[in-house]
Chain A
Amino acid sequence: MSSTSQKHKDFVAEPMGEKSVMALAGIGEVLGRRLEEKGFDKAYVVLGQFLVLKKDEELFREWLKDTCGANTKQQGDCYSCLREWCDSFL
């Protein structure tokens, strides 16, 4: 597994509950604000979108790029964070 950030490790360690969308790996302040403006104010809403896209990497990456302008690295971080969370808790 490639090196994961501390943010990633913190997120996948426990159920997300009511965590903000900025708790997701790859989503900082700027991207988090853009997501909130679109209605994705909590991490579980983004999780919902991830699941609705059938956990497909390409679709989720593209959606993330279109919605908040995430670059390739940020897309990958967010995707792997959510996927690993789902592997543990879903």
Chain B
Amino acid sequence: MSSLSGKSDEEISQLLDEYGIKHGPILESTRNLYKKKLSEAMTKKAKPSSSNKTYYREEQEEVEYITYQPPQLSIYDGSGDVTRRSKVTGADFAHDIRRSKLTDYRDEDIGYNNEPIISPARSSYQSSSRPGPSVSTSMQRGQSSPETSKSGGVPGWLRVLVFLIIAVFLYYVYTCMEPAEEIPLKSIQ
């Protein structure tokens, strides 16, 4: 990185434009100010016009967080969007862990089956019950079940369980609809 003092006025002006710094003419009274602004901008950004890249870097970092511990991020919102997940930063992690434990309780009671994201909730609930290898189990579950690329950890056993619940419920309803059999009618009463 060349020193700013050796730059001519034109070069300073060009650098200011590259960093997107609004400026006036480079005069004796303004040169020091612009040099200071340029040095600040250089320390903040490695390269000029790299704001887009930093944005992507943040996204990539957050993706790493997602693969590391998928369940908590998705539970926080209750929606399956990647964009929502990308907004959750590492700082929210501690909050998400506590929240996911609380929401897991509720999710199990309600039996909310519309979204597949609940399955990572259950995996985290399971992992929370075992304080020792909680991280490793969640990671293993994330790796063992690569069914959904977005959530990254939908356990197979949970899907089977949900399916069984629905199947039993449907069977119950079906038997109730049969007028010939009296047993289900008695069971209703």
Q: Do A and B bind each other?
A: yes
Chain A residues with Cβ below 8 Å from B133 are none
Q: Is the CB of A54 within 8 A of B36?
A: no
Q: B23 to nearest A CB, angstroms?
A: 7
- By size class, the interface of chain B is 10 to 19
B110-127 Cβ-contact flags toward A at 8 Å (1 or 0): 000000000000000000
Decide if B33 touches A52 in the complex (CB within 8 Å).
no
Total cross-chain contacts (CB, 8 A): 27
B3 at the interface (CB under 8 A from A): no
B159 at the interface (CB under 8 A from A): no
Given A59-B22, A59-B23, A59-B24, is A52 in contact with B37 using a C-beta cutoff of 8 Å?
no
A52 and B27 within 8 A (CB): yes
Q: Kindly supply a per-residue 1/0 record for chain A positions 3-38, scoring 1 wherever the CB is within 8 Å of any chain B CB and 0 otherwise.
A: 000000000000000000000000000000000000
Q: Is the CB of A54 within 8 A of B33?
A: no
Check B27 against A59 for contact (C-beta < 8 Å).
Answer: no
Q: Is B30 an interface residue (CB 8 A)?
A: yes
The answer for the CA separation of A49 and B23 in the assembled complex, in Å, is: 12
Q: Tell me the complex Cα distance, A88–B27, Å.
A: 27
Secondary structure at the B interface, as helix, strand, loop or mixed, is helix
Residue B29 is within 8 A (CB to CB) of chain A in the complex: yes
Tell whether, in the assembled complex, residue B33 and residue A62 are in contact, meaning their CB atoms are under 8 Å apart. yes
| A53 engages B24 (CB within 8 Å) | yes
With a CB–CB cut-off of 8 A, which chain B residues contact A62?
33, 36-37
Interface residues on A, range: under 10
- Tell whether, in the assembled complex, residue B33 and residue A66 are in contact, meaning their CB atoms are under 8 Å apart: yes
B25 cross-chain contacts in A, Cβ below 8 A: 52
Of residues 54 through 75 on chain A, the ones whose CB sits less than 8 Å from some CB of chain B are 54, 56, 59, 62-63, 66
A52 in complex: contacting residue of B29, B32, B36, CB < 8 Å: B29
CB distance from A69 to the nearest CB of B (A): 14
Q: Are B22 and A52 in contact (CB under 8 A)?
A: no
Q: Are the C-beta atoms of B30 and A54 separated by less than 8 Å? A: no
- Measured in the bound complex, the distance between the Cα atoms of B22 and A54 in whole Å is 9
Q: Report Cα–Cα, A41/B23, bound state, in Å.
A: 24
B1-39 near A? 1/0 per residue, CB < 8 Å: 000000000000000000000111101011011001100
A36 to chain B, nearest CB (A): 14
A12 → chain B, closest Cβ, in Å? Answer: 23
A sample of 9 inter-chain contacts (CB < 8 A) reads A52-B25, A52-B30, A53-B30, A54-B22, A54-B24, A56-B24, A63-B33, A66-B33, A66-B36
Interface residues, chain B, CB within 8 Å of chain A?
22-25, 27, 29-30, 32-33, 36-37
Contacts from A to B (Cβ < 8 Å): 49, 52-54, 56, 59, 62-63, 66
